[in-house]
Chains A and B, each alone.
Chain A
Amino acid sequence: MNAESNFTKKDFTPSGEVKWCAGCGDFGILSQTIKVLSETGKSPEEFAFISGIGCSSRFPYYVDTYGFHTIHGRALAIATGTKIANPDLSVWVAMGDGDGLAIGGNHFLHAVRRNVDMVCILMDNQIYGLTKGQFSPTSFRGQKTKTAPLGTMEDPIDPVALTMGLNGTFVARTSDRNPKHMHEVITRAYKHKGFSLVHVLQNCPIFNDGAFEKESNKETRADATLMLKQGEKMLFGKESEKCIVSTGFSPKVALVADVDEKDILVHDEHQAGLGHFLAQIQGENFPKPLGVFIEREAPTIDQEYVTQNNSVIEKKGRGTIKSLLEAGDTWTVG
């Protein structure tokens, strides 16, 4: 990313052991994240990694930057304070689907809404791993887990659709089994000024193995995913023989051979309407879109605080204890 980066992956890799289960998707996410960090040109101490509780929330211990492993669900609220206090830090939040969308759901809404300038990596394995196999808010209806032995009775949250609905300024999805794509998406998320959601389809080999097998397996992923590329037609399938066309407000899968070429949708990351449309693509007959759904510019809360404070200080001068206390209606005795 930055040809002049003086850092290597090693500079961001602490000496301690990484304690995820063998085969956990988090390893790949960690590796690509460290790669991106080493390419930014920033030194390790300029980064702050903040997490809540869960398997993925061990992340801060595994990157050699400043790190804060906090409490369940609260990483985004804590990171919001860190970023507003010190906008110079590059703030990253690592979270899982339970941590970020169940107990931390409220903070998620508001971090997106405030457009806090940070990268939020949501490692979604559709299960609670650290507590050993209960359903999460992204588990599909009917998913059998220890707390839903006959299958869950609730619909899942789609993190991308949720964030689009909150007018997120950067929303992307990638897969733990596609390092190149993951690297590209995390790099873009880092470069975006504002709240960047990176939704990673992540495999939990112990409690929910194969949840995203279709989207990850080299044999099937060409048919099961739609790789979004700016300015390019939405084609998928091994031979790019399938495409997405729009019929009114609904997407439709068609064979390229069967449609007029100009009816095939072309991806545009800057069109929120299209992003919403893509976020709604789901179900057996549709591929899962991966890539950047939206990227748009908007003020970030951390910079808004800087701007307001600076404008007041420029106008009034920096306050002192004297100016603070000897204000309003004062009177003198003696």
Chain B
Amino acid sequence: MRHVSTVAARELRSLFVSPVAYGVLSLFSVLAAVFFILNLAWFNEQLFYFQQMQAMEQLERLNLNEHLIGEFYGSMSVVLLFLIPGVTMGLFAAEKTNGTQELLMTSPLSIWDVVLGKLVGAGAFVLILAVIVGLYPALLFAYGDPELGPTLSGLLGVLLVGWTYVAVGTFASSLTKSQVIAFLITFVMMLVLMLLPAVSDLGLAVGAPAVGQALRTLSTAPHFEQLVKGVVDTGDLAYFAAAIATFAVLTKTAVESARWR
């Protein structure tokens, strides 16, 4: 495990000397701004509407955290769904096409050095994305009075969802030498992880509530929503830790088994 940081640093630097990092960062910043403005406009519209209607009760319930910041975090977690596969697709696939797989596997590195190095490298990049997301709610503190707790826990949610997607993407990249296929596998797996609750509703409908509940628990969505609401529960944190660990182990197994084929 001595070389995790070496591998991670190379991965991060490679992102920044290729157009990938800049493309993703620019697109992400633009999308973050667009979604923030859209959510802000919607919030203002609601506010104005309730004031016009003298709907004091609704007006009471409308708050920055739930109806602006939370919505914004939700939108950004969907944006991550599209961008993270682009960041992770090359992690292992490019090593195979460059032939550098042979360098890595004949160096005195353990497979964990390689797998964790890649996770940490891509994870650090997602940390930058999360900081960009955080800038927008930070603006609100200058003009309004959102609660700090849920703002931060929601941001943590964005980061954890991002890291989970990175783990999924790293695994997908270890399965193939085509970056396009790695992208698609990641995207589909993430979509499934996110949309499991919809399937679980179906399960409830056919009268298998246990199955439905299990599917719900496996999905990223309900855990993310809890954090956005400001509820920091060890169960939810453990879910993300377990998801990342599972995909890390799967990646390690995939890399290892490729040598024996």
A is bound by B: no
Interface residues of chain A, those whose CB is within 8 Å of chain B, are none
Interface residues of chain B, those whose CB is within 8 Å of chain A, are none
